[in-house]
Amino acid sequence: MGIKKEVLKNLLKRPSTSKYPGKEIDPEDRFRGKITFDKKECIGCGLCRAFCPAECITLTWRKKKFVVRGVEHQKIIHPIHKIDIGKCIRCGLCVDVCPVDCIWFTSKFELADKDKKKLISKM
Amino acid sequence: MHDFSLPIGPVNPSIKEPACIQLNLDGNMIKNAKLNLGYAHKGVEHLLEGKKIEQALYIAQRICGICSFCHSNGFNQSIEKILDYDAPKRVKYIRTLVTELERIQSHMLWMGFMFHEFGFETMFQYLLRDREHVLQLFERVTGGRVHHAINKPKTVRYDLKKQDITFILEKMDLLEKQFKKYFGIIKKDGVTKERLVDVGLISKKRAKRFCLVGPTARASGINNDIRDKHPYDAYPYLDFEVIMRKKGDAYTRLIVRLLEVLESIKIIRQLMKGLPEQKIPEAKLIFIEKGMSTSQVEAPRGENFYFTTIKNNKVDRAKIRTPTFAVINILPTLLENRPVGDVPVILHSLDPCFSCMERVIIVKDKKREVIDEHTFLHKYCDHHH
Amino acid sequence: MNIHFYTNIVTIIISMLMMLPVALLLDGIFRKLLAKAHNRVGPSIFQPFYDLFKLFEKKRSDSAGYKSLFFRVVPVLYFLSTYSLFLFILGVIQFQFDFILLIYMIVLSSALYILLGLVSNSPFGVFGSMRDMLLMICYEVALTVCIFSFIVYSDVLSLSQVNQSWLLFKLPLVSICMVVITLVETRITPFDTTDAEPEIMGSVETEFSGRSLGLLELSRQLRFLFFILLLIRFLFNPVSAVSFIILFILMFFILLLSEATSARFRTDQTFNWLIIVLMLSVMGFIRIHFLVW
């Protein structure tokens, strides 16, 4: 008799699924969504690229001027250029290892696209 | 009726992952069955070679989708054994919490599909609806519904807040109420008993010969629960019982897994009550020159075994023996002299997870040796204890 | 030919054509209510219409079965034999033919379903047909005996002349057997062994796609409607339209509840149950001569 009572009760209840693309979903605070970075803050240490298991971070090079005791020098650093969102496994190693916190998680998870080239994000 | 062969082939609604079982039939009865595997081989062990330790931890997590935390925990445990490090109590409690939640979630998915195999769609939908509560819990505590990247060497990534603890206890009350209802339904339903009782009988002697693990072996009377025999994490501080039965048919395996869920709910309540007030250590990079160790973890399907060798801070060799590897060999013997209608029921009651099981064994020069641990260490390892 | 004949033909054609949308809508409502029992949203009630149009738009598949003539012809024959069953049951058409023709048409429709599996080029189709052949020994004979009992009790020769109401109470054993046989014929759990998806994939309908599959789905929905109407006609035979609608909804809910609250039996277990049904129906038939009230 238990299952018949359950079924008759559920015929009168509201459904527990929601019509997803119409209704928006709010992920929690700790949700690991898409990765974004801030190019200006990046000091070019290269740790994120060394630790990424999926090898999806690409670095570029930039000349940086700095002054030591009144004399101007120039050095070349390698900040982040782009991240391949299609390869990223969202493990969070780059977020943990970055010394200046210029990479972080967002809550965006609807990342599918028909074109592979659009999955490489430069910001 | 004449005899022909039927492939329960790579594409089939009853096995959820690709595997091939060739059945030789005589009318409606199976004469013998043959197992063809290898469709889901991903080359995980080769992928882990040469990666840094933190990278390898996150790759090992993605071997399986349902039992993902047990792989992460097994690898982490063998790293911590090399470092000879004992984690603080709060870290151990959080790891045990995620292990038990994963056990609940895996058993609910298994039960739902078990009912689907013999046509009881209603219970299938109800169990999947209730599994959503556990997935919401995962998202709140760890940040991901399926892959919880919460383990790190020597510590955990996130800490538990007070609101999280009340949320967990609310959900546990809800789940316990639903499960007591389901237990009542299963005990009374006539068709379930007709389909499951006396189907796929495994006696205790046979289970020992085939070296079965997990709830499949516990339903036949063998106690090989790693949480009891070699306790790890927070299990030495907890009070729980190992569910065992004697009969060994598909109905008993259903009852054992259902009671294990109720037992896990009890364990989680104990954990939340006794959570120590400590601070979690910060995550730092580690460096290991050389090391080798083994570790065992109790996955939802049985005993998961890890053997890792580390050279120069990179993983040299990681051997993973998943519980399905030990259990799948009994399938052709169980299928003999049964009607075809029993095939999905028997296959699913063993709880196979083909995607974490597939490995490749290379036979070189057809050599074969039987050795003990001492000889193995001397002959094949250059790291002497 | 006078005007009576032409109006008769027009009534027959219109009422037969009306049965198709009614059957599709009924199946849509069934699926929607089943989804509500499962606590989910479910498809819209017009989903069978969309499915039918989509299937008819598809091109012919590459199946190797198309080499044989039967593979192309038998779905159409099956659909026609199921559709013509409605000529017997609709009240507006005063069909004066014998009830033996009714039994013949029902058995022909089931036999063509079995032939579908045998002409398709797949072991799963053959397997499904073998299962249905095994069960047909019991349930078709039991159906024949049940219809015999109703007709002999009413002392008539044709279905349209049955005019006794509430035969449910006068022939209880036979009525129960009729309900169980309806569950088998319309493939509703717990007796839908031929449609066992986890065990034998698509069973009889595995190899068909496109227009043939559209005709098969339509025939399944028509059978559902036909058997509900047959049950109401025999067990209750209501006179007014209001009681007809109430009884229709009641029978529909009984079938829905059976689908939602039970699991599926294995082939040999279904066979055992159907043997009992056969014996009960024979006992009910014999009882007409003795102990009649």
**Distance (Å, whole) CA C103 – CA C225:** 17
Q: Domains of chain B (ranges plus CATH)? A: 44-357 (1.10.645.10)
Cβ separation A53–B55 shorter than 8 A: yes
Which tens digits make up the pLDDT trace of C23-74?
999 999 999 999 999 999 989 999 999 999 999 999 888 888 888 899 999 9
| Cβ atoms C26, C223 nearer than 8 A | no
pLDDT value, residue B373 = 60
**Distance (Å, whole) CA C209 – CA C122:** 13
Residues recorded for chain B: 385
Enumerate the residues of chain B whose CB falls inside 8 A of the CB of residue C262: 120, 189, 191
Task: Report the residue from C189, C190, C201 with minimal CB separation from B12.
Answer: C201
Residue, of C102 and C91, whose pLDDT is higher? C102
Is A38 inside any structural domain?
A: yes
Strands A103-105 and B5-8: unpaired
Residue pointed to by tokens 């999905």: B344
**Distance (Å, whole) CA C199 – CA C102:** 33
pLDDT value, residue B39 = 85
CA distance readout (Å), B154 to B51, B265, B286, B297, C48: 19, 27, 9, 17, 57
Q: How many helices (H) and strands (E) does chain C have?
A: 12, 0
pLDDT value, residue C127 = 87
Does residue A76 sit at the C interface (CB-CB below 8 Å)? no
Task: Report the residue from C33, C40, C257 with minimal CB separation from A15.
Answer: C40
**Distance (Å, whole) CA C88 – CA C96:** 9
Which tens digits make up the pLDDT trace of A66-122?
888 888 888 888 888 889 998 998 888 899 889 998 999 998 888 888 988 888 888
Which tens digits make up the pLDDT trace of B4-41?
888 888 888 888 888 899 999 888 889 989 888 888 88
Enumerate the residues of chain C whose CB falls inside 8 A of the CB of residue A3: 261
Domain ranges of chain C: 3-286
Q: Which of C158, C181, C153 is nearest to C169 (CA)?
A: C153
| pLDDT at residue B349 greater than cutoff 90 | yes
For residue C287, give how far its alpha carbon lies from the nearest alpha carbon of chain A (Å).
33
Give the total number of structural domains in chain A.
1
Cβ separation A51–B54 shorter than 8 A: yes
Is A17 inside any structural domain?
A: no
Label residue B359 by pLDDT band (50, 70, 90): confident
For residue A67, the enclosing domain spans: 27-121
Label residue C140 by pLDDT band (50, 70, 90): very high
| pLDDT at residue C218 greater than cutoff 90 | yes
Percent of chain B residues topping a pLDDT of 90: 62
Cα torsion B253, B256, B262, B263: sign = negative
Of B57-61, C113-117, C162-166, where does mean pLDDT reach its minimum?
A: C162-166
The helix or strand, by DSSP H or E, that contains position C247, with its residue range, turns out to be helix C241-261
Cβ separation A3–C36 shorter than 8 A: no
pLDDT value, residue B384 = 47
Residue pointed to by tokens 């089943």: C34
Is A12 inside any structural domain?
A: no
| Cβ atoms B24, B5 nearer than 8 A | yes
| pLDDT at residue A1 greater than cutoff 70 | no
Label residue C169 by pLDDT band (50, 70, 90): confident
Q: Is the peptide bond before B153 cis (omega within 30 degrees of 0)?
A: no
ipTM of the complex model: 0.91
Which tens digits make up the pLDDT trace of B365-384?
677 666 666 676 677 665 54
In single-letter form, the type of residue at position B158 comes to Y
Does residue C38 sit at the B interface (CB-CB below 8 Å)? yes
Enumerate the residues of chain B whose CB falls inside 8 A of the CB of residue C261: 122
Is A22 inside any structural domain?
A: no
User: For the whole model, what pTM was predicted?
Assistant: 0.91
Label residue B92 by pLDDT band (50, 70, 90): very high
| pLDDT at residue B361 greater than cutoff 80 | no
Does residue C40 sit at the A interface (CB-CB below 8 Å)? yes
pLDDT value, residue C291 = 61
pLDDT value, residue B370 = 67
Give the pLDDT mean for C247-251.
93
For residue A57, give how far its alpha carbon lies from the nearest alpha carbon of chain B (Å).
14
Among A1, A45, A93, A95, most B C-beta atoms within 10 A, so best to mutate, is: A93
Does residue B26 sit at the C interface (CB-CB below 8 Å)? no
Is A1 inside any structural domain?
A: no
pLDDT value, residue B377 = 64
CA distance readout (Å), B163 to A106, B148, B168, B170: 22, 19, 9, 11
Among B54, B167, B182, B191, most A C-beta atoms within 10 A, so best to mutate, is: B54
Which SS3 state, helix, strand or coil, does residue A102 take? coil
**Distance (Å, whole) CA C113 – CA C185:** 11
CATH code, domain with A113: 3.30.70.3270
Contacts with C, B 36-95, CB within 8 Å: none
| Pairs of CB atoms within 8 A across A/C | 28
Among B1, B2, B3, B14, most C C-beta atoms within 10 A, so best to mutate, is: B14
